Amino acid sequence: MKTPLWAKFIRGTSMQSDFQEIRDLAVRYIKEETVQPVKDMGRFVLWGTIGSVFVGFGVVLLLLGSLRFLQEQFKVLNGSLSWIPYLIVVFVAAAVIAFTLWRIVSGADKKRLKDTK
């Protein structure tokens, strides 16, 4: 005959096995709720960083190419006016940086906050 489930509590079970079960449950919960999200976030940050480095390298190459283009196409900017292509490229680079910072500051979080109000 099978003993009822409540009989286990009347007879008393080992406190050590109860504590072990609670500990195992807590460890499993902590792993699921903290370790896994941190791993996922680390993967997100890694790929974001790699992408940012590649995009930054591409922008630098585009700026360098545009400088060379300006120097080769506009021969009138040789001699005492040779600084003008550099100035143009610096202004374009400043505009790219300003646009990037503007997009970072006015991210999706502010739009979400406006929608919830």
Domain positions in the chain: 13-116
List, for residues 16-44, the tens digit of each pLDDT value: 777 888 899 998 888 888 888 888 888 88
What pLDDT band is residue 113 in, cutting at 50, 70 and 90? Answer: low
List Cα–Cα distances, 63 to 37, 57, 60, in angstroms: 38, 10, 5
Evaluate whether 73 touches 50 at the Cβ level (below 8 Å).
no
How confident is the model at residue 58, as a pLDDT? 97
> Per residue in 57-69, pLDDT tens?
999 999 999 999 9
Token pair recorded at residue 78: 């040789």
Structure tokens at 1: 């005959």
Alpha-carbon gap, residue 105 to 116, rounded angstroms: 19
Is there a contact between 93 and 56 (Cβ–Cβ < 8 Å)?
A: no
pLDDT band at 11 (very low <50, low <70, confident <90, very high): low
Q: Nearest-CA neighbor of 64 among 56, 53, 75?
A: 56
> 49 pLDDT exceeds 90?
yes
Give this prediction's pTM: 0.61
